[in-house]
Structure 1
Amino acid sequence: MSTYTIDGRTKANFGEAAKQLTLAGTRAVLLVSVGQRYHEGDKLRATVELVNRSGFAHLTIAVADTLQRTNYLGISPEDAYAKALREGDEWLERNDKTLGQLSVPHEVLRWDEALEDPDYAGFRQRVEHAYENDPRYRQAVDATIGKFVDRLTLRDPGADTELAFRRCREYLIEECPIIMPMWAHQGYDHIIYPQPMTVAMADTQRLFVTEEFPGKGGWLSLRFKKRAAAPEQAA
């Protein structure tokens, strides 16, 4: 008689849609939201194993650390920046051994480096202009903000929703130009992340990537599942 046990190890995949793609030889970004559990421990290890199996030509590990400063509502901007930067340092130190298991050529990109990229300012101006002048795009961004604020008020009914809305808008207006048009412009084929695209990101892709950079900036949403250990033979 055979019985199956769970060994606690996680396996990652890119879902059904990715089965139609040829990933080998392409360039990808592994986008890391510092502070999220799916970028830690067994799930990060499973992500590294998936990247190794997929045969990417190059991987950029984008550590979105200082981007998180806008989420720290109760402290000064200076303290929020220092806290976010420190947490990025700690993430890299904590996960150095796991990242060292990558067998594909790779590099680490900190968020401040992305903000300082010469390509960033132009793409940000275009995103800001779309938000101010394109009702469809503004609605997409505001809908994404609304979901964030709804989650916040569930955790903290007394939260300052007006401040949260402004900070989340700052977050998205900073984030979207980098992840979608800038990285597509720089030749990245795929963005790897454990969640589906937000409505704001999807509309950024529609406006600034689909026609200008066809075939670039594809979204690979990670999925995780526990895997069974080999069967044990019972006496």
Structure 2
Amino acid sequence: MCRNGQQPDPHGTGDERTSDATFAALLEDSAEELYDHAPCGYLSTLMDGTIAKINTRLLDWLGLRREAVVGRMRFTDLLTVGSRLYHETHFAPLLRMQGEISGIAMEVRQAGGGRMPVLVSSAVKHGSTGEALLIRTTVFDARDRRAYEEELLRGRKAAEEARRQAEADRARLQDALAVLQQSLLPDILPPVPGVETAAHYHTAHPDRLGGDFYDVFPLDG
């Protein structure tokens, strides 16, 4: 088959025939090849979670050998403690009720002791009479996504801390200015015969030192 979806033209040019042959060879990947080396993890489990099939990609991520996994481990054995608890309390009940569930963030354990963030989707395969036969699961690498989310969280925390610090600095500045502003008023006004006086300081701005001043003084004559 050619790139355009048609059968190759036997009368085409040499370059065209070579290009079509190369393209056709790329399409000759077996289903097993596609399954094992897909850009995501695949596994099939029995209804009790026992792993019946797992692809090479997921085994490489986990650092495990196929013979140590197939028929010997359950899907939950691949998960960290927190993800295993979430699987038992939320994931598995929803899967039984809905028949499928997708895009759930979990973590899998790696043989070297590390943990890998993943996105898990599962669907139940049913037989001709409706009975549940097995569970098909895809596992996507979420390490880049997790790093991006953590970077966003750090940025948000830094911005929030900067905002709190700015508010605290502004409050301290206002307190200091209030003391200075009050010091501009005399404690006692000088007596003016026949006039009752009072002092009031009207601030121009709470963050600035300055304002309007009024004075009362007698006129001769």
* Pair in the same fold by TM > 0.5: no
TM-score when normalising by structure 2 = 0.26
Higher relative contact order (CA 8 A, sep 6+): 1
| Bigger share in helix | 1
TM-score when normalising by structure 1 = 0.24
Larger radius of gyration: 2
